[in-house]
Amino acid sequence: MIDQKEPDNPVSAAVDPKEMRAVVLTGFGGLNKLKVTKKPMPEPQRGEVKIRVKACGLNFLDLMVRQGNIDNPPKTPLVPGFECSGIVESVGENTKGFEIGDRVMAFVNYNAWAEVVCTPLDFVYKIPDDMTFSEAAAFSMNFVTAYMMLFEVANLREGMSVLVHSAGGAVGLAVAQLCSTVPNVTVFGTASPFKHEAIKHSVTHVFDRNIDYVPEVKKISPDGVDIVLDCLCGENTGKSLTLLKPMGTYILYGSSNMVTGETKSFFSFAKSWWQVEKVNPIKLYEENKVIAGFSLLNLLFKQGGCNQVKTAVQKLLSLYDQKKIKPVVDSLWALEEVKEAMQRIHDRGNIGKLILDVEKSPTPLVSDVFTSTWEVLKGATEEESDKIVFLFLPSQKKI
Amino acid sequence: MIDQKEPDNPVSAAVDPKEMRAVVLTGFGGLNKLKVTKKPMPEPQRGEVKIRVKACGLNFLDLMVRQGNIDNPPKTPLVPGFECSGIVESVGENTKGFEIGDRVMAFVNYNAWAEVVCTPLDFVYKIPDDMTFSEAAAFSMNFVTAYMMLFEVANLREGMSVLVHSAGGAVGLAVAQLCSTVPNVTVFGTASPFKHEAIKHSVTHVFDRNIDYVPEVKKISPDGVDIVLDCLCGENTGKSLTLLKPMGTYILYGSSNMVTGETKSFFSFAKSWWQVEKVNPIKLYEENKVIAGFSLLNLLFKQGGCNQVKTAVQKLLSLYDQKKIKPVVDSLWALEEVKEAMQRIHDRGNIGKLILDVEKSPTPLVSDVFTSTWEVLKGATEEESDKIVFLFLPSQKKI
């Protein structure tokens, strides 16, 4: 975990009760489209829970949202973020099952990166007493995704093998932990070389993400693997199908290859549709293979899958209680540090989950500058970073 | 079951021990390419079991083989047939686990439709004492296919819904029986109207195979179904994907739509490859859907899946012992009646499995005539059928 200063004066201590702080995306684009502003306090509608947020999860998908690199992007300005943890502050009419003061984690269809969120009770889950808010914000999206892919789409069983990319990321680590709950499962992972030491105990074999993993896997397992979990997309679909054993399952659950620079690249979402290799069902018949896609957010917010997800959350919380799984938190960031946090995900610098800690004091931030100076700034003191920015950039202002 | 005469003089009673009777496909084409001839007695190689065959299973795939309507068809002449039951007559070297006299069922990579077959021990399974040879020949291919699709590819669980075509066929009935072993599973089936009465207790809802099932299913279940098992191919892939619920699974396991007339149609295997709608993995991601193919014969004979299949057979035999499943035999036919039997499958006249009963006496057959006269012939006595053939056909001969 990156060292962060302890919070001293929580920013939310002396605020107008009709306002709250939130991260706002003012338009699709680079890091400079993100800012922290005051927003009107939301109030719970019928069937909703109002949560005083303690921590929010940051996912690669949030970066793609920022770029507008998703299907049917919503209108800006918007408050990003799909998951948080916190304390129930009030409930709307007809909202049974939650009491004020309950410690919870929740999915939100945007708006999670704020001091307060309201979301339908179907997306809210109580958390165990010994689960920290950071852990809870690192739990729902990544473990549910990993769980449903492994056990509901792919039917992971004893003796199988799994290939997962970004093995040092939050989903990758969740996959590895869940695989370890089944006897004799082999996990192949790809990750940046500097992460290999840190994750060598969670995956069986780890390969450099910059080399072609296909021959590396085949050297160890000539027949291939039973399950491929692909968050990259692009050419990896064809490569993965090649690697699958008969009766094997390929699951596409992300498209991080679409992100190259800070803003939406030429290889955008719409184009990728045409560039990804399509699959002939007769080929699947001949080869006895399964191809699937998994999008937890679509399942939750477009396809009415909240009950299926709730069942998965309950099973996962039981595994947490048995100490078989535990979210890995990479680092905590104040809301005002969201750009630095996002750059860290973009650079694939994290091992585990990045969390926005709502009560954390920000280290002073300079807006619009983090694209290229993050590596310099992150080790610098406040005074030093002011100077660095002053040296490299013509204009800057404190938030 | 169709009434058949009891066997009186088994044809195999007084034969040369170095010869056996077998059905031979002399070339790809119509029914006239099938004949029964003497072949040299096979002897078991190392690791093989020699089986005195009692009954053989006849599948829709055998009809496609006859037409040459499969990928990479083998050379003719050949003995068709992929499954049989019988008694172990001898074993090759290094063939542990079987004794002479064992009652068994077996998969064979062609050559099943004969009085004697030899096949590797990995494809042979002992059968329970109370399972008849007809049941055993109706068991392996169809129940293993149904089981692996429902429980290994699709992960059938309580409360799910399944759509199966040819619900009166042997796989369809096996699917329905296996679904009934899981609580609260809804089975939608399509079948020819005359079968509806016979299968109404095995499926929850049955539709006419000649109408569009999509609106019919949606009337009952507006959200669609969890699992579609497709043995038709062609336009059904797209229709099925439309019908799938989020997290649903489509499995292509056959392509009976390719068969139209008695011989290979214009819509042959090679062409179908280009005509079937290809699927974009990104669409699966957005819709949370799974698409799969299943070919038991490829798994067994090309992809080394015999252990997976053996596990499935063991689970199925346990369900049989618990009287939870039982093969449905449509009718028994002598080897010499293979053309009539095949025509019955082609006409979709069967409810359950067609069996070639090796010890059954043939009712006298007239070659080359069954394409159009089966409906007339099947109820006729020997004398009558001779007359009918004489009336309608310019030439005929007894086999």
pLDDT higher than 50, residue B373: no
Q: Do B293 and A282 touch (CB under 8 A)?
A: yes
Q: Residues B43-91: pLDDT tens digits?
A: 999 999 999 999 999 999 999 999 998 888 999 999 999 999 999 999 9
* Interatomic CA distance for residues A204 and A214, integer angstroms: 16
B288 touches chain A (CB under 8 A): yes
Residue A150: per-residue pLDDT: 98
pLDDT for the residue B261: 76
pLDDT of residue A369: 34
Of B165 and B398, the structure prediction assigns the larger pLDDT to B165
- Helix B60-67 to helix B338-346 angle (10° resolution) is 100
Q: Which residues of B touch A291 (CB under 8 A)?
A: 279, 281, 284, 290-292
Distance from CA of A140 to the nearest CA of B (A): 18
Q: Looking at beta carbons, which residues of chain B come within 8 Å of A281?
A: 233, 237, 250, 252, 276-279, 291, 293
Q: Report percent pLDDT > 70 for chain B.
A: 83
How far apart are the C-alpha atoms of B341 and B328, rounded to whole Å? 16
> What SS3 class is residue A58?
strand
How many angstroms separate the CA of residue B246 from the nearest CA in chain A? 7
Count helices and strands (H / E) in chain B. 14, 15
- DSSP H helices, chain A, are 60-67, 133-137, 140-147, 170-179, 196-199, 213-220, 236-243, 269-275, 281-287, 296-301, 306-321, 338-346, 370-377, 382-392
> How many Å lie between the alpha carbon of B197 and the closest alpha carbon of chain A?
32
Q: Is the pLDDT of residue B382 over 70?
A: no
Helix axes B236-243, B213-220, angle to 10 degrees: 10
Q: Does residue B196 have a pLDDT over 70?
A: yes
Query: What is the predicted pLDDT for the residue at A54?
Result: 98
Q: Which of B272, B281, B303 sits opposite A279 (nearest CB)?
A: B281
The length of chain A in residues reads 399
How distant, in Å, are the alpha carbons of A138, A158, A231, A295, A356 from that of A145?
12, 20, 11, 8, 20
What pLDDT is attached to residue A277?
Answer: 80
Q: Which pairs count as long-range contacts for A94-102, CB under 8 Å and 24+ apart, including other chains?
A: A94/A46, A94/A47, A95/A44, A95/A46, A95/A47, A95/A48, A95/A49, A95/A121, A96/A121, A97/A121, A98/A49, A98/A124, A98/A126, A102/A126
- Chain A hits for B71, CB-CB cut-off 8 Å, are 286
Q: What is the mean pLDDT of residues B12-25?
A: 82
Using a CB–CB cutoff of 8 Å, tell me whether B286 touches chain A: yes
- Per-residue pLDDT 10s for chain A (399 aa) are 444 444 444 444 456 889 999 999 999 999 999 999 999 999 999 999 999 999 999 999 999 999 998 888 999 999 999 999 999 999 999 999 999 999 999 999 999 999 999 999 999 999 999 999 999 999 999 999 999 999 999 999 999 999 999 999 999 999 999 999 999 999 999 999 999 999 999 999 999 988 999 999 999 999 999 999 999 887 888 888 899 999 999 999 987 777 777 777 655 555 666 667 889 999 999 999 999 999 999 999 999 999 999 999 999 999 999 999 999 999 999 999 999 999 999 998 999 999 999 999 876 433 333 333 333 333 334 343 333 333 333 233 332
ipTM above 0.90, yes or no: no
Whether residue B295 has pLDDT greater than 60: yes
CA distance B396 to B365: 10
A284 at the B interface (CB within 8 A)? yes
Q: Decide if B293 and A284 are in contact by the 8 Å CB cutoff.
A: yes
Q: Are A26 and A63 in contact (CB under 8 A)?
A: no
Residue B14, pLDDT above cutoff 80: no
Question: Given B71, B247, B294, which is nearest A288 (Cβ)?
Answer: B294
State the pLDDT confidence band at B278, using cuts at 50, 70 and 90: confident
Interface probe with B: pick from A64, A284, A302, most Cβ of B within 10 Å? A284
Output the DSSP codes for A194-212: GGHHHHTTTSSEEEETTS-
pLDDT the model gives residue A266: 56
Q: Is B271 on the interface with A (CB under 8 A)?
A: no
Please tell me the least confidently modeled range out of A227-236, B270-279, B342-351: B270-279
Predicted local distance difference test score (pLDDT) of residue B384: 39
**Contact between chains at A288 and B305 (C-beta distance less than 8 A):** yes
Cα–Cα distance for residue pair A17/A90, rounded to 1 Å:
14
pLDDT of the residue at A263? 76
Q: Which residues of A fall within a CB distance of 8 Å from B311? A: none
Inter-chain touch A293–B281, beta carbons under 8 Å: yes
Instruction: Give the per-residue pLDDT at B363.
Output: 67
Size of interface A-B (CB pairs under 8 A): 145
Distance in angstroms (rounded) separating the CA atoms of residues A131 and A48: 23
Task: Give chain B positions within 8 Å (CB) of A233.
Answer: 281-282
Q: Model confidence at B9, in pLDDT bands (50, 70, 90)?
A: very low
What chain A residue is nearest to B237 in terms of C-alpha separation?
Answer: A281
